[in-house]
Structure formats: C-alpha cells, structure tokens
Structure 1
Amino acid sequence: MKRLFLLVSLLVLSKFSAQTWATEDQYIQKFAKYAVEEMEKYKIPASITLAQGLLETGGGQSRLAQEGKNHFGIKCKEDWTGKTMKHTDDAPNECFRVYDDPRQSYEDHSLFLSTRKYYANLFNLDMKDYKAWAHGLKKAGYATNPRYASILISKIEKYRLYEFDETNSKEALYAVLKMYPDLKDDRTFMAQLQPEKYTKKAKEAVTVEVPYKQTSYAQQQKRVEKIKTKAEILNSILIKSHPNDGLKYIIIPEDTNVQFIAKKFKISESKLIKWNELDNDMLKKNEIVFLESKNSDGNTATYKAEYGEDMHDIAQKFGIKLNKLYAKNRMDEGQKPSAGQLIYLIDKKPRN
C-alpha cells in the first residue's frame, strides 16, 4: 500500500513539475502571439521581437515590464504624450513610457523601428534572416553592448524562436503548443485554441490579462509605504551606485532639507551643497543628491534634453559637474536647453 501511495505521489509530482516553467519559457508562451502579429503588420521577424522582449524584461520580471507594461525599454522622447514612469537606466530617474497593456508596448516597438531613419536599412533584409537582423540592429545603434547581436542570436537559437518566423497569427498558439507540448494540460491555454469546448465563464477568464504570481519589490514597497511615517521613509534611504563610474548617490523619497541628509550620512552641509550645486537647503521628493563629488564626464556621449529640464537636472541625472556640462555645450551659466536639444556629456573630439 505504501509503495502504491509513493508511486501515485511521484506521478503527481512529475506532472506538476512538467508544467513549472522557467520565467523565459513563460514569457515565450505568453507573448509569442504578439510578436507574430507584429511581424505580419510591420515585417519585423517575430524571433527578433521576442528575443528583444526576453532580453529587455529578464523574462518578464523587470520593473518596467511589470509596472509599466514596457517590454522594450522605450524612453519617453519628446513626442510621447502618454503615461510615464521614472526608472534608472543610463542615469537615475529617466523617463520611460507606460502602457495600459503589453500589446501596446509591442506595437510601439514596431513603430519605433519602422518610423526611424536609423533602422530603415533593416527592412531591406530577408525577414527570415534573424542573424542579419540582429547584426543590423547593433550596427544601427539600437544598443551599446558590443555583444548585443550575439546575445539575441543565442536566445533565438536556445529557444528555437526562429520557428515563429514561419507561422502566422492564426497559428501562433499552435506553434507554442508544439514547442511546449505539456501545455495541453493547461486548460487556460487550451481554451484559447478551442474556446467552444469551455463554458462562457471559462472563456471570459481567458480574456483577462493574467499577471505573474510573483509580486515585484516595488509593489511590495508601495504597500509598506502607505503605513510608514515621513520620518520612517526618510530614515530608510539607501545609498545607490550611479552608472557613471559608481558614484554614490541617493534619491530623496520625501521633501526634506540638506541638514537632515548631512546628519544622516555624516557629511558636511557645505560639501553636499557644493557637490550638488544647490542654491538653497531644501530638497524635493525624487531629487537626486550625490554623496561625493561628481565627475567631469558622463557615462554616455550625448543626451536629448526632455521638455522642462534645465542643465542642473541633466547634470544630476548623469553625475556631471554643472560647470563642465555648460562648457562642453558652449552654453552660458543659467542658459536652458530646448526640448530635444542634443546635449554633449563627453567632450567632442577635435577635428583634424
């Protein structure tokens, strides 16, 4: 009897473990159809779109994907009028687009590639040549990582994403099922293939966007902060490492003053004011404050100023001394950049 019980238990566990997918497998199962739909509309290989989504979101686990439904790390730019969120990428508190649904993010990614002149040559490539597309994206400046093309190709080949380049939107879910045959035991997934076999209630459940079970750290923090006092929030400030050479900085979580920060981190008020080029001792929520002297150069060559930003905002965002930033751009102290203006963060190379 005990042996029979053990055998049944092992069979149950085996069936359960077969459906416990890694995050990247879950991502493919959930979003492959979107990539195929975009391929049909914009002639971008589904394998490329899906591999970029996997890479950008860490298999759907990134903060941008979970909170902003932003799967491709697209920043606000001057033409974006939708919702936004702040996120640290090349610099702290950069502006990123927020979507109501991941499908919108996939559509916007397609528009981003198909409407910008830098990527025009990609659309002369064979749509089924994912290697040429991967190298073409890197050559066009889509990413700064020198291994970007090889990383995309590796993901495409690891998960056989090239198979989605051979299908269409009506058959995309069948292609997923072929890739993951154990999904036949998933009633929610199967209902998408043959909804007539399920009740009306089950059909409605299928149309609901099912979030990942894992709650993000940011979401947990929001719940906790609702019951925290202002003093508790200020006392919980953590020192961060800036992308520009690891400079130490913090982001002010609530309005406060220089005296509080100086006392908390045991740094003189005069140094904080000097390092951050402050003109008063009041610090606003979400303001960036450096705990050491900033650098003379940025960690990226150029940046396009956003609407409403001044040079101090940009200096803080990229960890550059304000006077150096003015000098690099041949601007007078106090002069403001216009929206979309190209700001140099590293000295331009002299002409020969």
Structure 2
Amino acid sequence: MKRLFLLISILVVSKFSAQTWATEDQYIQRFAQYAVEEMEKYKIPASITLAQGLLETGGGQSILAQEGKNHFGIKCKEDWTGKTMKHTDDAPNECFRVYDDPKQSYEDHSKFLATRKYYTNLFTLDMKDYKAWANGLKKAGYATNPRYASILIGKIERYKLYEFDNTNSKEVLYAVLRKYPDLKDDKAFMAKLEPSKIIKKEPVTVKVPYKQTSYAEQQKRVERIKSNAEILNSILIKSHPNEGLKYIVIPEDTTVRFIAAKFKISESKLVKWNELETDILHKNDIVFLESKNSDGNTATYKAESGENMHDIAQKFGIKLTKLYAKNRMDEGQKPVAGQLIYLIDKKPKN
C-alpha cells in the first residue's frame, strides 16, 4: 500500500481492452464512474480516489492492476480470505489481494479508509476540499513519500479531477464525455452512456472448410511445458529493496548444490548467508547470493499468520541472529500473528 511507484510494463493496447490502458486519460475514462460511486457510498472525494488509482497503478499499467485487478496496492492482511498473488513491494514475495473485478478493488479501498482509526479525521473534512484530503492522507501515514500530498494534488489539478467531486453516478459518464469529446466515436463507451441508441446487429455466420489434421500436427500446437531443469536454469538475479542485496526466488523445488553450481558460489556460503537447516530449497523460497544486512529497510513489520522469524529475515534481507536480538526473542521462538517485529534497533546506535 505504501509503495508509491510500481514497475510499469510498456504495452501496446487499444481502448478499454481487458486490463490494459495506454494513457492516464484512458484510466480516467474507464474508472471515473467507480470513483464517483464510491464517493456516494463512503464520502471520499472521487478526485482523491482517482488520483490515488492513477498513482498506484501507473495509469493502469502496474503488475498488480494487470494481473490482480488490485488498483490500490492493498496487501492480504490477516482478515483476507480471497485469492492472492506474490509481488515485490517493501520486500520480495509479499502477499497482495487479487480481485475478480477492479470495481471490487475500488470498494475495498473505500472500506480500508473508512474502517481504520488512522483515517478517522479525514471524514471530518469537507468532501470537496481535495487539498485537505491529500494532506490528511499524508499526515495519517498512508504513504512514506514526503511529497505524496503534492503528487496527488498535481494529478487532480492536471486532469481537473475535482470536476468529478461535483457530479453523481447518474451523470458521471456525461461528465467524462464532456472532458473527452472524442469518446462519441467509441461505441463501447456510448453503449454504456446510451444503450438504447445502439443498434444491435445480427451475427454473421461464416462457414469454414473442415480440414483434418494428424495427431502429430495437433500435438505440435499444444504449448510445450518447460521441464524443472529449464525453469531453474532461467532464474534471474534480483535486487532487494534492502540496499540492493542480490537474491533469487526459487521457481521449482531444488537443492542448495544446484543453486551453488549455477551461480558459482560455495554451498557453505549459501547455507551461512541464508541460515539454512536443510539442503532442500522449495518453490518461492528467497535465497540471498551475498551476506544479508544487520537492519531491515523498514522500521517495523507485523507478522502474518504462519510466519516464523526465518521467513521474516528472508523477506527483509536481515540476518536472523540480528532479528532475534532486536526483538529480544530466543532462537527458535515464533512470533504470533499481528506481532510487531522490529527490523531496526529501537534506539539509535551510539
């Protein structure tokens, strides 16, 4: 949630195709209605919601938006029982919510603000004062970027998103059309605006000559599945958010010996750097290719259900012994779900 910029994939797309949008203008055209509907239900300015969506998704191009229909970077947390996906944000392989439709993401974002005590003061503000809301979000700790409020305000004023704060869900599509007159030529958009004026065309039946193919030819068309060895040989070295430490994510079950040979690092070093107790590495395990740091890249972290201290140490690139020491825990002691784990010493070092 707190990471402001996600990796943007450059895609060649057409308007409103599936989950891809070429520009921020297209994002506004597609999701202004959701933002206004949420404003009516939860009293959150539509301009703020749209600006946050633009920023979090890079105009709809982020991996979370594309693959998970998650437009606000909401992580799983303990109360989430729906589908999930792994994505690197503050740490590698963090758990993020996956939605069936972006509309669900918009509503979840509204509930997130409306039900958490940190944001209570926001709802005492004038709903049409987008500047106060932007600054209020920053003050409440929604994001760590000191320029977060000014970035939101900049997007709102650049695209005149405040205009949506003065409309309703029945009129919002007309407001979009006023902003983007060329949409009158977009049949998909106009169908939503005035469905009764769209003339239905009878489907055209096309006869295609049947051509029999051999079993061998059919098999050639079936997508070839990579073997475990091929998958493992395609592993890429990544840069960890904690000072750029080199690490990999294991794509299939394998051994320390295989990884050591592939990256020309001794097995003993891999075992030491990653505090391993077995030679077996499992799918989605995080493995560092150099010694981890003594501190994490964020101050604290709330342990998730089922996590142990080794999991957290790997997630944040911190030495396990240091992690135990910072939290005054004995070796092997497990955290409980929701426990606040310190990743940086409570008191500054002398």
Query: Structure 2-normalised TM-score?
Result: 0.86
Specify the code of the residue in structure 1 equivalent to 2:263: F
Q: Which residue of 1 aligns with 2:217?
A: none
| 2:132 corresponds to 1:129 | no
Give the Cα separation in 2 of the matches to 1:149 and 1:96. 24
| 2:34 corresponds to 1:30 | no
Instruction: Kindly indicate which of the two structures has a greater share of residues assigned to helix.
Output: 1
Q: Which residue of 1 aligns with 2:82?
A: 82
Specify the code of the residue in structure 2 equivalent to 1:322: L
SS of the residue corresponding to residue 250 of structure 1 reads strand
Pick from 292, 300, 303 the counterpart of residue 302 of structure 1: 300
Unpaired runs of 5+ residues, structure 2, are: 1-13, 16-20, 203-221
Pick from 239, 259, 262 the counterpart of residue 261 of structure 1: 259
Give the Cα separation in 2 of the matches to 1:143 and 1:118. 12
Specify the code of the residue in structure 2 equivalent to 1:173: L
Deviation at residue 238 of structure 1 after TM alignment: 0.3
Deviation at residue 349 of structure 1 after TM alignment: 2.3
Specify the code of the residue in structure 2 equivalent to 1:48: I
Deviation at residue 227 of structure 1 after TM alignment: 2.2
| Cα distance change, pair 73–201 in 1 and its aligned pair in 2 (3 A) | farther
Deviation at residue 22 of structure 1 after TM alignment: 4.4
1:193-222 CA deviation, whole Å, 9 max, x = no partner?
A: 1101124579xxxxxxxxxxxxxxxxxxxx
| 2:67 corresponds to 1:63 | no
1:19-67 CA deviation, whole Å, 9 max, x = no partner?
A: xx84211110000000000000000000000000001111111111111
User: Is the 1:225–1:233 contact (alpha carbons within 8 Å) kept by the matching residues of 2?
Assistant: no
Number of matched residues?
311
Give the Cα separation in 1 of the matches to 2:127 and 2:117. 18
The 5 Å alignment of 1:106-185 reads 106-185=106-185
Pick from 256, 269, 279 the counterpart of residue 277 of structure 2: 279
Runs of 4+ in 1 over 3 A off after TM superposition: 199-202
Unpaired runs of 5+ residues, structure 1, are: 1-15, 203-223
Deviation at residue 331 of structure 1 after TM alignment: 0.7
Give the Cα separation in 1 of the matches to 2:223 and 2:184. 42
Query: Structure 1-normalised TM-score?
Result: 0.86
Q: Which residue of 2 aligns with 1:332?
A: 330
Q: Which residue of 2 aligns with 1:193?
A: 193
Give the Cα separation in 1 of the matches to 2:231 and 2:250. 10
Two-structure CA RMSD over aligned residues (Å): 1.7
1:228-262 CA deviation, whole Å, 9 max, x = no partner?
A: 11111101100000000000000000100001111
1:172-193 CA deviation, whole Å, 9 max, x = no partner?
A: 1111101101101111101111
Give the Cα separation in 2 of the matches to 1:91 and 1:201. 51
Q: Which residue of 2 aligns with 1:100?
A: 100
Give the Cα separation in 2 of the matches to 1:333 and 1:119. 37
Give the Cα separation in 1 of the matches to 2:145 and 2:261. 40
SS of the residue corresponding to residue 70 of structure 1 reads coil
Give the Cα separation in 2 of the matches to 1:139 and 1:345. 23
Q: Identity, % of aligned pairs?
A: 86
Give the Cα separation in 1 of the matches to 2:192 and 2:318. 52
